[in-house]
Amino acid sequence: MTLAKVKDLLECEVIWGEGLLDTTVEMGCSADLMSDLLAYAKSGGLLLTGLINPQSVRTADITEMKGIVYVRGKKPNAESIRLAKEKSIPLLATELLMYEACGRLYVAGLKGCPSHRRGT
């Protein structure tokens, strides 16, 4: 799924990276605790989060996410935007709750990030 389709499905505002909306994402990963993302995320995903500080961008960079969608009407701060530009990570924002945003993406066919399960 492209970021352009994500933008339409989630009624997003593009904060930065309008020229990168043709980027394809392979899965969706949602977390407000970046340690959770570090534990289970695979590269090529889309991060959905309410964490608007630069740590969200740093974590997306480390885990090789293709973009970030900020949920619940939150907007990243100036430092986060600066870092996203430096790392070429598109930033989008939606008014939707994380639950609904993930649901819309799932129904549209975007698979979720694999999760860590005990005993596996």
In the predicted model, what is the mean pLDDT of residues 21-27? 96
Domains in the chain: boundaries: 3-111
Asked if pLDDT for residue 105 goes beyond 70, the answer is: yes
Residue range 43-58, pLDDT digits in tens: 899 999 999 999 999 9
At the top level of CATH, which class does the domain 3-111 belong to? alpha beta
Alpha helices (H) along the chain: 3-10, 34-40, 54-62, 78-87, 98-107
Using pLDDT thresholds of 50, 70 and 90, give the confidence band for residue 120. very low
pTM equals 0.92
